[in-house]
Amino acid sequence: MLRKNSARQNIRAPGARPRRRRRIRRGFAAKVLLPVFFLAALAILISTGALGRMLSAAPAPPPEQSEQPTAASEPPPPPVITLKPALPLLVNAQNPLPEDYPAVKTVDMYRKVDVLNVSIKVSEEIAAPLIEMFDAAKAAGHSGMFLSDGYRTETEQQALYDAAENKAFVQPPGCSEHQTGLSVDISISKVPAAQMADNPTGKWFIENCWQYGFILRYPADKADITGISYEPWHFRYVGLDAAKVCHDQNLCLEEYIEMFGG
Ligand SMILES: [Zn+2]
């Protein structure tokens, strides 16, 4: 071929010049321009996305449709609902009972559990869990425990406060949980109140009360937060959920409310 082409190029008749130029143009168009045009067209098609649409039978969906869930049979995920837990009522020296606090519906505990005197009452809200806790203590082999205090009227709280020599254990009237009927004092026969935690029965109540919705309201290591000295006999009903959190995370009620009430 090379030899033949060389031979043709060597033949240079004057009249053949235009024909050769045409042949050169045709060769140039076939070998260079056509591929360039083809590549340029291809590049345009690719860059505009037209090639994909040409190759695809289905038209490209608009962007908003492509964001819709693809499978119609798949149910949408359930909405996330965050509910704050109902907070137990906080009653202390800084948070007195509201003036419109409703009258407490009380239940006599006499003959339901052992009591210090027949007049001891609690809010009807806690009677059942309280009885359940006493029954569980008995079932665990404990004895001698009794209810030494429950619901107090404001007048009774006032009298206690006035008579108390050590105000570290007594809240002023309006600021005592006993006025809600949700708190109880538990005693053990022949065991001084301050030594309850050293007694196996007292220890049982302190360690297990959370399973019945109660907390030891004034722990020794929280006195600076509660404002009340250690009371191993005073239990407050806060409900099962709050009691479990307070137990698991070693929180007093003030800390629990600060954590979940904000
Ligand atoms: Zn008490």
Distance 140 CA to ligand 1 centre (A): 24
User: What are the pLDDT digits (tens) for 18-28?
Assistant: 455 555 455 55
What is the distance in A from the centroid of ligand 1 to the CA of 237? 12
Q: What is the reported pLDDT for 6?
A: 42
Residue 156 to residue 150: CA distance in whole angstroms: 11
Q: What is the pLDDT of residue 76?
A: 81
Q: What would the mean pLDDT of 160-166 be, rounded to a whole number?
A: 91
For ligand 1, the distance from its centroid to the CA atom of residue 154, given in whole angstroms, is: 14
Confidence of residue 167 (pLDDT cuts 50, 70, 90): confident
CA 61 to ligand 1 centroid distance, Å: 71
d(CA 138, CA 132): 10
Q: Are 233 and 193 in contact (CB under 8 A)?
A: yes
- How confident is the model over 45-80, as pLDDT tens digits? 555 555 445 444 444 444 454 445 555 678 887 776
**Residue ranges near ligand 1 (ion) with Cβ within 5 Å:** 185, 234
Residue 30: predicted pLDDT: 55
Which tokens is 242 given? Answer: 């709050």
Please tell me the distance between residue 253's alpha carbon and the centre of ligand 1 in angstroms: 15
Q: Taking residues 232-245, what's their average pLDDT?
A: 97
For the question of whether the overall pTM of this predicted structure is more than 0.75, the answer is: no
Where are the extended beta strands (E) located within 126-257? Answer: 145-149, 183-188, 214-218, 231-237
Task: Tell me what pLDDT residue 110 has.
Answer: 97
> Which domains does the chain carry?
16-62 (no CATH), 106-261 (3.30.1380.10)
* Cα–Cα distance measured from residue 17 to residue 25, given in angstroms and rounded to the nearest whole number: 12
Give the per-residue SS3 of 4-51.
Answer: HHHHHHHCCCHHHHHHHHHHHHHHHHHHHHHHHHHHHHHHHHHHHCHH
**Please, which pLDDT band fits residue 261 given cuts at 50, 70 and 90?**
confident
Catalytic residue among 67, 156, 231, 258: 231
Gap from CA of 173 to ligand 1 centroid (Å): 13
Give the number of C-alpha atoms closer than 13 A to the C-alpha of residue 88, restricted to the C-beta side. 31
Q: Is the pLDDT of residue 124 over 90?
A: yes
Two tokens, residue 105: 């519906």
Is residue 125 flagged as an active site residue? no
The reported pLDDT for the residue numbered 210 is: 98
Give CA–CA dist 109/112, Å, rounded. Answer: 5
- Ligand 1 centroid vs 260 CA: distance in angstroms? 25
Mean pLDDT of 68-93: 73
Please check whether residue 235 is in contact with residue 216, taking contact to mean a CB–CB distance below 8 angstroms: yes
pLDDT band at 15 (very low <50, low <70, confident <90, very high): very low
Q: Which pLDDT score is estimated for 78? A: 75
Expressed in angstroms and rounded, the spacing between residue 185 Cα and the centre of ligand 1 is: 5
Structure tokens at 152: 């107090």
Q: What is the average pLDDT across 213-231?
A: 96
Q: Is 50 exposed, middle or buried (0-12, 13-18, 19+ CB in 10 A)?
A: exposed
Length of the chain: 262
The pLDDT value recorded for residue 43 is: 56
Type of residue at 253: L
What is the rounded distance in angstroms from the CA atom of residue 52 to the CA atom of residue 66? Answer: 16
